[in-house]
Structure 1
Amino acid sequence: MTSSAPSLASALLNPRRIALIGASGDPSRVTARAQIYLRRHGFDGDLYPVNPRAETVLGERAFPSLAEVPGPVDLAYILLGTAQVEGQIAAVAAKGVPVAAVLADGFAEAGPEGRALQDRLVAAARAAGVRLLGPNSMGVVNLRARTACSVNAALEAESLPAGRLALVSQSGSMMGAILSRGAARGIGFSHLVGTGNEADLTAGEIAAMLADDPEVDAVLLFLEAIRGAHHFAEAARRAHAAGKPIIAYKLGRSPFGAELATSHTGALAGSDAAADAFFRAHGIARVTTIEALLELPPLLIGRRPLARPRRAVGVMTTTGGGGAMAVDCLGVAGIEARPPDARAAALLAAEKLPHHGRLIDVTLAGTRPERVAAALGALLAAEDTDLALSVVGSSAQFRPHDAVAGIVRAAEAAGRGGKPVAAFLVPQADASLRLLAEAGIPAFRTPESCADAIRAYCDWRAPRAAPPLAPIAHALPAAPDEADARRLFAAAGLDTPFAVAADPGALPSEARFPVALKILSPDLAHKTEVGGVALDIPDAAALQREAAAMLARVRARAPAARITGFLVQPMARGLAEAILGFRRDPEVGPLVLLGAGGVMAELWRDTTLRLAPVTEAEAREMIAEVRGLRPLAGWRGMPRGDLEALARAVVAVSRLAALPEVAEAEVNPLIVGREGEGVIVADAWVVRA
């Protein structure tokens, strides 16, 4: 490569010299599409079809090999079958091509043999300094530069609107689907990149490049898995610094969706709650509907995350039923449609507009643009809401200019830095949607996507500054039992008293009775199920009798389990039980979990997650999010629990992120005492990585 070679971002996102390896002269074949689309949409760079069996391909000069292409190449798109891809990497490397995109599938998603083939492909590319896009990639589209280097059938359209939204999609088909959905509403894209299996270049790495691009205002992600979490974290930091939102739609909210995402591209899936925690920590807004992925950007572009979201909106409507739908969906999403406060009510009264209740219905008061603008202006003045929403009825379909004029006026009066104005159009009203898109006003086609987008706006945060990760000096045995888990938690800062005995004869005779007795074994995570737990033992004699009986029970019910002794601890009483856990998620890394604990923890799933480690302030936020722990704050006159001790316990467990040998660890239950009494580890478990 010469010193004038393009940067990686330029070669990938704006290639000017493209080689199509395996280009077909048969227009009906998929391998002909990239050349057809590049020319159809106006690519004016240099294009080199590579086909050893043809002198021309679709009317353009072809080359028998990449080596015979004159001059440098920015991007090579390998259109050959799976078995032929590996052999082309040497040619790409010899030519000095910085980026190669691979269309073929049959790699990691196809099983062990495909995984091995993909690994060889990556190793060869890295050894030669070539970056790979894919395999299973539908290529790269840059609509502002008229570069449609893709085989996606959505590019059959004669024209596509260029815009300032960029999309990175792990699914090639969804790349085209989102492009076509946007085009139907006048929403244009700057770039669309299909990353496929992400054997090398990840969606996060490409998102970081797009965040740096001056022609991009927001980056959209369609994800099946989070690969290279550190790349997403870096992209989010760069995007936030540039004032550009990153918005993600991720599959895997159900076990079935996670299974399909895994099988599609060979990804290793983590939990959806972990993905939520990851996006939240890094300031990536997450939507759950594909409509909201397109509709949310105008709400975020040019804004910063709310410092103190009120999770409330003011709603004005020209259709009672449509307004009620919006209020209902917002409520399900955790967003309140709030009645006007005193300031907003006074402004509404001055305009002789209704100002009672959660829904300001102006239908009878008149829907002329000046009246709509006045009503929205009053709602924008409220001090206890985050947004003003206009719900528009049939006029949006039949009188689009009149229907949106008042909304546009209100938005212009508020200014870009003011509280946002948004609109939900109840009928199918494509012209009104286009007018609002041109004005940069968030507009929603369904009440569900409206609620989803507004919820995502209120959830949006700035990327968190992770606290420093202090080392923990502790050696974890190869096969840890509960006593080992307790010693680990004590090393992290969560210590409660216990005693260990190798056999019934060595049990302590002096103890603070009554006590609990448990069998110790690295093989028994659920000791109660095999009779390995006894509570409220009153004295030393009873302790010895129970230990002998317990040993016999456990050996009978779990004969293969290794028995390492007994654990004795004082019985503890408290106000509540919590579950406190740590896990290394395969997608996002270390996490800490807090929830309502005890034997029902797995059933109720009343939990919250954060990336680990956390600060005490973050731990307090977690405590407030668990419904089962809210009584500890003194709810309805109940005694207050030691929430500060609980917060310190969360911080302590989150510090296990410093020990890579810990895969999972759990305290369940953690007993929370009254204020000032602290917390007590009732049961503990750890799993080595």
Structure 2
Amino acid sequence: MNALHRALFEPRRIALVGASADRTRLTARAQLYLRKHGYTGDILPVHPREAEVLGEKAYPSIADIPGEVDFAYLLLGTQHVEGVVDAVAAKGIPAACVLADGFAEAGPEGAALQARLLATAKAAGLRILGPNSMGVINLNARIACSVNAALEADSLPAGRIALVSQSGSMMGAIMSRGAARGIGFSHLVGTGNEADLSAGEVAGLLVEDPQVDAILLFLEAIRQPQHYADLARRAHAAGKPVIVYKLGRSPYGAELATSHTGALAGSDAAAEAFFRANGIARVTTLEGLLELPALLIGRKPLAQPRRAVGVMTTTGGGGAMAVDCLGVAGIEARAPDAAAGAALEAAGFPHHGRLLDVTLAGTKPERVAAALNGLQQAGDTDLVLSVIGSSAQFRPQDSVAGILRARDAGLAKPLAAFLVPQADASLQLLAEAGIAAFRTPESAADCIRAWCDWRLPREAPAAPAIAHALPERPDEADARKLFAALGLDSPFATIASPQDAPKDVAWPVALKILSPDLAHKTELGGVKLGIADSAALKQEAAAMQHRVARMAPQATLTGFLVQSMAKGLGEAILGFRRDPEIGPIVMLGTGGVTAELFRDVTLRLAPVTEAEAMGMIAEVKGLQVLAGWRGLPRGDLAALAQAIVAVSKLAAREDIAEAEINPLMIHGEGGGVTVADAWVVRR
């Protein structure tokens, strides 16, 4: 393990700066919890007036502590932190944690304070956890250096799952929820504002820890995305799944996450693309965060997920709930295929439809095992789910015995269980056996969906440099020239005034106003289609110039763009953006004026390969008609895929914030694509 890992997770000498002698104070908790839960190292309270704090010798300042110190926890008010960080750095302490809030999340003054604190730390080689961090817990080493009230518990079950949480309160909440289920943790860390150490970097320190089998992340924002990418690659190589619960799926959640931590929020769709690309499994339920590890530990991502499961139940209503929730999550409860059907018939189980209901056949362990083993023979499912009724509550040993027997048969397909009643004892038995067990049908569906979505980290293609000059304030003509440099060249002409005549255009044409200030021209009357001849063009251009100048008086008008009319089989919106959290992304969706209304889009990290581009096309519902749906003419989806790849190469241009083609007209097979409207924004 490296020096930072030892300082954070195995410190033998801990300085508690601002420790209180009043046992009722928040700032006394870290010292109390360290001793309560078995810490045997040196606790070094720092207090300017007390010679002793809670039975430990105290020191008036950090400089007065004799010898080396591994870790410092700063339990101080915001106004005192900056000066003490100077002293911590001067002492040569390798890592410090800051409890106080009031930094980047508090506005410009707090952000400036946080920047100064970080500059001091960097100059001295000091690594900072926080600010706004509730500390570090290593349960296997009995180190509870935290003020989280969950540590009031008399005992804390240690385990082999690590949690890194940007929310300190959730760190304790998840630990307590796990304890109630018999699920123990190896490490728990609160990263807070992440002025220095990000959750991704901290989690990366745990990949090689022999006490860790899986890493959980509770995130409000993605800071320093390169750390997560590195974490995920190394974790997959080590066979340790990384599982995330991230806030911000709604605009309200994103707003709260931003205000809480001072982070700049990106879009949730971009975060989803980021996790998928890096092989990080994402859950959307808090229960799922605790329940998914048992399904992933010891397994690799499915090469070709069928997104289907076999379901056996001892309760009809409970089984129906599971089937319904799975369906909402995009997972099919599939009827037994021929192989599974034959095995079930041989074992004496009649089977009809998607749900194998064995309620009337009896729930003896050998019968449950036989039913589960029969379903495991199916060649078209990813997992077998056992839904258990009242026996899980009243006869826990019997209720899980059949599942354990089926597991011991050695078949490769995973087994999991949804317990319909409140059945803590059965849940704990299954957890101890390493079998994924779910408290609700919603979390069962969430976890199975997350497992089917789980992928190996992608190998990102190279993004070659694009040598093309772009004005500081580009208009549509400039954007089109940029796309032409990428291989998307659709002929057009420009004119400076209404009296000019375009050259080399085929009539009828489309006319558009040119301006670096107008991304949406249609609403302002800045677009006219189907103009038949030169005379009509001059008339329309004069009227358009007057109309747009009146409706957008602040806009700079740079001329007009003229393009021959074209008709395609379909329209797409194709865009590029630098997401504030995760960086370059490429977007594809159904195009035209209703693109923002329907939001039928998909995202990937940029740049993408042609295979990834084809995968994006398959995910956009509005484009499926171009794949020959019900005998309709096929669109040139190969050309669309090439266009996606081309636009994604803008990832190499650090000077571009966003770019868009809407619509990109898709012609019939072999007909290519046409850029009908384009836009680009400089950073």
Q: Which TM-score bucket, shorter chain as reference?
A: over 0.9
Q: Counterpart of 1:360 in 2: which secondary structure?
A: strand
Q: How does 1:387-536 map to 2 (within 5 A)?
A: 387-414=383-410, 418-508=412-502, 510-536=504-530
Q: State how far apart, in whole Å, the 1-side matches of 2:645 and 2:500 are.
A: 35
Q: Which amino acid aligns with 1:342?
A: A
Q: Does 1:292 align with 2:292?
A: no
Specify the alignment match of 2:247 in structure 1: 251
Per the TM alignment, residue 505 of structure 1 is displaced from its structure 2 partner at its CA by: 2.4
Alignment deviations for residues 569-601 of structure 1 (CA, whole Å, 9 cap, x no partner):
111101111000000000000000000111111
SS at match of 1:72: coil
**Distance between the aligned counterparts of 2:191 and 2:235, measured in 1?**
19
Query: Could you tell me how far 1:543 is from its partner in structure 2?
Result: 1.4
Cα distance, 1:412 vs structure 2: 2.1
* Alignment correspondent of 1:267: 263
Q: Distance in 1 between matches of 2:377 and 2:534?
A: 71
Paired amino acid for 1:467: P
TM-score (norm 1): 0.98
Question: How many aligned residue pairs are there?
Answer: 683
1:421-472 Cα shifts (integer Å, max 9, x gaps): 0000000000000000000000000000000000000000000000011000
CA distance in 1 between counterparts of 2:575 and 2:504 reads 32
Counterpart position of 1:77: 73
Query: Does the 8 Å CA contact 2:493/2:503 hold for their aligned counterparts?
Result: no
In the alignment, structure 1 residue 306 sits paired with structure 2 residue 306:
no
Higher mean Cα deviation, 527-536 or 190-199?
527-536
2:146 to 147, 150, 153: 150
Q: Which among 357, 364, 379 is matched to residue 361 of structure 1?
A: 357
- Quote how far apart the aligned CAs of 1:6 are: 6.7
Which amino acid in 1 is paired with 2:518? L
CA-to-partner distance for each residue in 1:112-146, whole Å, 9 max, x for gaps? 11000000000000011100000000000000000
CA distance in 1 between counterparts of 2:81 and 2:539 reads: 70
Contact 2:495 2:561 in 1 (8 A): yes
Q: Which moved more, 1:65-74 or 1:433-442?
A: 65-74
Runs of 4+ residues deviating >4 angstroms:
none
- State the SS of the aligned residue for 1:76: strand
Among 79, 100, 123, the residue aligned to 1:127? 123
Q: Which moved more, 1:66-75 or 1:435-444?
A: 66-75
What displacement does 1:354 show?
Answer: 2.3
Q: Indicate if the aligned counterparts of 1:590 and 1:611 stay in contact, CA closer than 8 A.
A: yes
User: Contact 2:274–2:582 at 8 Å: present in 1 too?
Assistant: yes
Aligned residue among 90, 93, 96 for 1:97: 93
Question: Could you tell me which residue of structure 2 aligns to residue 335 of structure 1?
Answer: 331
What corresponds to 2:219 in structure 1?
Answer: 223
Taking structure 2 as the reference length, what is the TM-score of the superposition? 0.99
1:73 Cα offset (Å): 0.8
Matched, 1:669 2:663: yes
SS state at 1:666 partner: strand
CA distance in 2, matches of 1:46, 1:399: 47
Deviation of residue 539 (structure 1)? 1.5
**AA of the residue aligned to 1:675:** E
Q: Deviations over 1:11-62 (max 9, x none)?
A: 1122111110111110100000000000000001111111121111111111
Assess if the C-alpha contact under 8 Å between 1:422 and 1:441 holds in 2.
Answer: yes
Aligned pair partner of 1:629 in 612, 623, 634: 623
How far is 1:509 from its partner? 5.4
The reply on whether 1:567 has 2:551 as its aligned counterpart is: no
Matching residue's letter, 1:223: L
Question: 1:14 and 1:353 mapped to 2: Cα distance?
Answer: 55
1:595 aligns with 2:589: yes
Contact 2:500 2:538 in 1 (8 A): no
Q: Name the residue aligned to 1:185.
A: 181
The 3-state SS of whatever aligns with 2:80 is helix
Match of 2:158, as an amino acid? A
**Contact preservation (8 Å) 1:510, 1:540:** no
Unaligned runs of 5+ in 1: none
SS at match of 1:211: coil
Whole-Å Cα distance in 2 between the matches of residues 305 and 101 of structure 1? 36
Where does residue 239 of structure 1 map in the other structure? 235
Q: Is 1:659 the equivalent of 2:653?
A: yes
Contact 1:509 1:540 in 2 (8 A): no
Amino acid at match of 1:129: G
C-alpha contact (below 8 Å) 2:492/2:505 kept by paired residues = no
Deviation at 1:378, TM superposition (A): 1.1
| Distance (Å, rounded) in 1 between the aligned partners of 2:35 and 2:2 | 22
When residues 6 and 655 of structure 1 are mapped into structure 2, their CA distance, relative to the original with a 3 A threshold, is closer
The residue identity in structure 1 corresponding to 2:300 is R
Is there any run of 5+ residues in structure 2 with no aligned partner, and where? none
Q: CA deviation at 1:72?
A: 0.8
CA distance in 2, matches of 1:403, 1:62: 55
In 2, distance between residues paired with 1:527 and 1:329? 44
- Separation of aligned partners in 2, 1:422 and 1:25: 50
Contact 1:414 1:420 in 2 (8 A): no
Q: Secondary structure at the match of 2:194?
A: coil
Local SS of the residue matching 1:665:
strand
Deviation of the 1:231 alpha carbon: 0.5
The 3-state SS of whatever aligns with 1:485 is helix
Tell me the residue number matched to 1:615.
609
Deviations 1:459-507 (A, max 9, x none): 0000000001100001110111000111111112211111111112222
Q: Which moved more, 1:544-553 or 1:310-319?
A: 544-553
Q: Structure 1: which amino acid aligns with 2:622? A: G
Deviation at 1:608, TM superposition (A): 0.2
CA distance in structure 1 between the aligned counterparts of 2:370 and 2:183, rounded to whole angstroms = 28
SS of 1:504's partner is coil
| Residues in 2 aligned to 1:75 and 1:492: alpha-carbon distance in whole angstroms | 52
The two structures, once aligned, show a CA RMSD in angstroms of 0.9
| Deviation digits for residues 186-244 of structure 1 (CA, Å, limit 9, x no counterpart) | 00000000000000000000111111211100000000000000000000011011010
